[in-house]
Amino acid sequence: MQRICLFPGTFDPITLGHVDVIKRAVSLFDKLVIGVGINSSKQPMFTVEQRTGWIKEIFKDDPRIEVTGYEGLTVHFCQEIGAKFILRGIRYVSDFEYEKAIADMNRMLSQEVETIFLTCAPQFSTISSTIVRDVIRNGGDVKLFIPKEVQF
């Protein structure tokens, strides 16, 4: 049986921290699906098409990585794609508290899906999509925080 993992997120935009977690996680699974979540309560800066396009470009040379948009409950999407694992990146202890609550809820909704946490490399721990968007809105240079493939 293939070990399929879903890495869900908004990736608005994808950061070097996300890329770090993905590159380290991909060898743990047979397939890593990066799920760009469509969340009706969030107003993203970039379209799903832009975000999935950037991620596909970044990982185009790795056949183990797939990228797709999805809506609805993450555990339902896991069932659709046959994923038994959900990957979440952790920067700080506060991230863990939030992510653990979600992981616990997902576990109650689907006992066959396990959440895996990876901490990001220390040099990326201060980078978040929220901060990157703020820098963009205020005309700052974000080249140090995002992959070169991300262009807007």
Percent residues over pLDDT 70 in the chain:
100
Q: How far is CA 152 from CA 18, 34, 76, 142, in A?
A: 18, 21, 32, 11
129 is catalytic: yes
- Give the whole-angstrom CA distance, residue 11 versus residue 13: 5
pLDDT digits (tens, 9 = 90+) for 38-82: 977 778 999 999 999 999 999 999 999 999 999 999 999 999 999
DSSP class of residue 39 equals: -
Surface-to-core class of residue 7, CB atoms within 10 Å of its CB (0-12 exposed, 13-18 middle, 19+ buried): buried
Give the pTM: 0.95
Each domain of the chain, given as residue ranges in start order, spans 4-137
Q: 141 pLDDT band (50/70/90 cuts)? A: very high
pLDDT, position 23: 97
91 is catalytic: yes
Percent residues over pLDDT 90 in the chain:
91
Catalytic residue among 3, 42, 60, 76: 42
Could you tell me which residues come within 8 angstroms of residue 53 by beta carbon, excluding any fewer than 6 positions away?
Answer: none
Q: 152 pLDDT band (50/70/90 cuts)? A: confident
pLDDT, position 60: 98
76 is catalytic: no
In the chain the first and final C-alpha atoms are separated, in Å, by 40
107 is catalytic: no
pLDDT, position 149: 96
Task: Please provide the CATH number assigned to the domain covering 4-137.
Answer: 3.40.50.620
- Give the whole-angstrom CA distance, residue 83 versus residue 150: 27
Catalytic residue among 23, 56, 91, 133: 91
pLDDT digits (tens, 9 = 90+) for 89-136: 999 888 899 999 999 999 999 999 999 999 999 999 999 999 999 999
Contact 72, 35 (CB under 8 A): no
